[in-house]
Structure 1
């Protein structure tokens, strides 16, 4: 079955649909030796080249495993593939996928730990990051300084930051003693350091920040810092459904070898306070219960 060029290439991890559409407009993609045009479709057997390079692998284009990996990122690692400052990257800790490459769903800054989702499915990554889907990102935050009820209401209502207004979709106290207190917050934007900047706008400083959930995916309890786990079964299907994509079971051929290379750990049952929304698009934040 023929599909639009940008859809096939995005699914195989060659870029976002929008970025690939720009490449088509700029004449950087050819199909069977002819310059591609927006709206063109391709099918198995077509020869696709990007920017005059070698033909793209048919196996990667048409038999792409829909793999999703969860990584518990420690503080001190960056989310780029190659860091000019020589800092350790998350990709140094990960096994290579059978086909394609890992695409990170969003980023965490060097001082933030917790859940990173990676996938070989570029279409899934694009959907999960697209602002229109308003995916929940839940964080456990330790702040230094007094937090009043007025401050919490300001953070719910929205605060003007240098790059526009931002707010927490939900915020709940989670205990603490002395000057340090824990909160669980939900934000539906992927803007740089937005969680830290929102707290700083109220005169308090974030002393620790951990992502514990992204959309329907909750970080498993057994997943130790610096370790990874494959997302499988109903959890994987639920993630695809949350962005209106269809999950296709992997081919049985070679599956045993894949599982040997990428052995999953048992997923933990999520605590009630991190319960993910069952609605497809997460446009309403789930209520985070107290601790």
Structure 2
């Protein structure tokens, strides 16, 4: 059977495509809210994004406070966006953060980041709920819902954060009462909601503290006010989420549908009534199971010539140590040019292959020269006379 010819489009027909028919019953929704539900960031960040002029609605630059309907075409930097007018159940990921990692996506020093280990997702991005200092470990929550992240982090909700703190020294009853009452810090007064001693050995003592703020290094600064430096800080709870005992350092855990639905109800957010999103086989395998993410190669300065060594990450302190070792092994000798400028000698002369070490000369032995007199005369066989 002959294959039918493909219908060619008439090039003279320049009429634009017909737009989608508008639904008169569609209820407009705020643009920044839909962008937050799509996992692009929090509502406040989306308002800043709209104000930057990168968002367009039907080819026109969007304004802060604009509303859209399902038939509108919304683009981010000319890339079309699929907005969730019917919200889907977000993803929630728990991570037991170890020390030595920062909670930032853009770091000029190229240190190890928690975002380097996160699994990839489509049509969205991971949002870190709260932050932890580089030297702080413990519970860290990631989600694809900007609304859920805002419910955890906004100061007006006053979500509790619980930490296990080990300090050098021991607090008195008066100092614990003062920490509960309040202390004046550089950025304003601060206090713990509760503080309980948890024992200790020797000079180190453990305390359990609860507070409702997330200021930078707030727990450490409160203890340092009484000359009690913090040697270990672990976050064990954030709101209704506790750090699971089976979740060891550096491991992750995807929450199931039941747990995520419970978080949405706790946050007083609308739970999607439609069918749940179809999970891939790999997502079904990891759902509800603890797994260790694959460590990616560390990001270093290419001029230093440093390379990652397997899953071990090179921190800033170790990176500086390796640089110093390389500088000691390959010192840069400098010389002055004709104009008086100091220039490295390697830039003036081409590199030469390394010379082989010369072999040491042998010491001459004290030997006497052999003479003819030293040679014994040969013996003649018996029965024969010597010829004259």
For Structure 1 versus Structure 2, the TM-score category normalised by the shorter chain is 0.7 to 0.9
1:207 equivalenced with 2:234 (yes/no): no
Q: What is the rounded CA distance, in whole Å, between the counterparts of 1:121 and 1:149 in structure 2?
A: 43
Q: Could you tell which deviates more after superposition, 28-37 or 208-217? A: 28-37
Q: SS of 1:176's equivalent?
A: strand
Q: What is the rounded CA distance, in whole Å, between the counterparts of 1:80 and 1:89 in structure 2?
A: 6
The residue aligned with 1:235 is 259
Q: What is the rounded CA distance, in whole Å, between the counterparts of 1:263 and 1:206 in structure 2?
A: 36
Q: What is the rounded CA distance, in whole Å, between the counterparts of 1:25 and 1:95 in structure 2?
A: 30
Q: What is the rounded CA distance, in whole Å, between the counterparts of 1:38 and 1:98 in structure 2?
A: 26
Q: What is the rounded CA distance, in whole Å, between the counterparts of 1:33 and 1:185 in structure 2?
A: 52
1:166 equivalenced with 2:190 (yes/no): yes
- Over aligned residue pairs, what C-alpha RMSD do you find? 2.2
Cα gap change, 1:82 to 1:251, in 2 (>3 Å): farther
Q: Could you tell which deviates more after superposition, 93-102 or 109-118? A: 93-102
- Equivalent residues of 2:191, 2:222 under 8 A apart: yes
Larger radius of gyration: 2
Cα gap change, 1:188 to 1:252, in 2 (>3 Å): closer
Q: Could you tell which deviates more after superposition, 229-238 or 64-73? A: 229-238
String of CA shifts for 1:204-251, please: whole Å, max 9, x gaps: 011100000000000111111001001224432232233221232684
Q: SS of 2:201's equivalent?
A: coil
TM normalised by structure 2 equals: 0.63
- Equivalent residues of 2:29, 2:67 under 8 A apart: yes
Q: Which of 229, 237, 245 is the aligned partner of 2:269?
A: 245
In the alignment, structure 1 segments of 5+ residues that lack a partner are 267-291
Q: Which of 54, 59, 62 is the aligned partner of 1:36?
A: 62
1:15 equivalenced with 2:41 (yes/no): yes
Q: What is the rounded CA distance, in whole Å, between the counterparts of 1:74 and 1:249 in structure 2?
A: 37
Cα gap change, 1:19 to 1:99, in 2 (>3 Å): closer
Pairwise CA distance, 1:62: 5.8
Structure with the larger RCO, 1 or 2 (CA within 8 Å, 6+ apart): 1
Pairwise CA distance, 1:258: 5.9
String of CA shifts for 1:20-68, please: whole Å, max 9, x gaps: 3344445443211223334432122321133xx1233316776655001
Q: What is the rounded CA distance, in whole Å, between the counterparts of 1:232 and 1:38 in structure 2?
A: 35
- Equivalent residues of 1:98, 1:258 under 8 A apart: no
Q: What is the rounded CA distance, in whole Å, between the counterparts of 1:155 and 1:232 in structure 2?
A: 38
Equivalent residue pairs, number:
264
Q: SS of 2:221's equivalent?
A: helix
